[in-house]
Amino acid sequence: MKTLVSATWLHQHMEKPNLVILDASSATNGGTIPKARFLDLDHAFVDASSPFPNTVPKLEQFELACQNLGIDQDSEIVVFDTKGIYTSPRVWWLFQLMGHRNISVLDGGLPAWIENGFETVTEHLKPTKKGNFKSDYQTDMVVTFDQIKANIDQQKFVIVDARSAGRFNGTAPEPRKHLQSGSIPNSVNLPFEEVLENGRFKSAEEIKNLFQGILKEPQEMVFSCGSGITASIILLASAIGYEKSLKLYDGSWTEWAELNQLTTDN
CATH of span 142-260: 3.40.250.10
Could you tell me the CATH superfamily of domain 4-116? Rhodanese-like domain (3.40.250.10)
What is the C-alpha to C-alpha distance for residues 64 and 91, in angstroms, rounded to an integer? 15
What is the C-alpha to C-alpha distance for residues 21 and 17, in angstroms, rounded to an integer? 12
Q: What is the mean pLDDT of residues 151-160?
A: 96
66 is an active site residue: no
- For residue 28, the model assigns a pLDDT of 64
Rounded to two decimals, the pTM is 0.96
Q: pLDDT, tens digit, for every residue of 29-55?
A: 679 999 999 999 999 999 888 878 789
Residue extents of the structural domains in the chain: 4-116, 142-260
Which of 71, 91, 159, 225 is flagged as catalytic?
A: 225
> How big is the chain by its Cα radius of gyration, in Å?
18
Using a pLDDT cut of 70, give the percent of the chain over it. Answer: 98
Q: pLDDT, tens digit, for every residue of 81-121?
A: 999 999 999 999 999 999 999 999 999 999 999 999 999 99
What is the C-alpha to C-alpha distance for residues 266 and 89, in angstroms, rounded to an integer? 35
Q: What is the mean pLDDT of residues 74-86?
A: 97
Between 74 and 244, the more confident residue is 74
Q: pLDDT, tens digit, for every residue of 198-223?
A: 999 999 999 999 999 999 888 899 99
Q: Angle 145-154/252-259 helices, nearest 10 degrees?
A: 80
Between 28 and 30, the more confident residue is 30
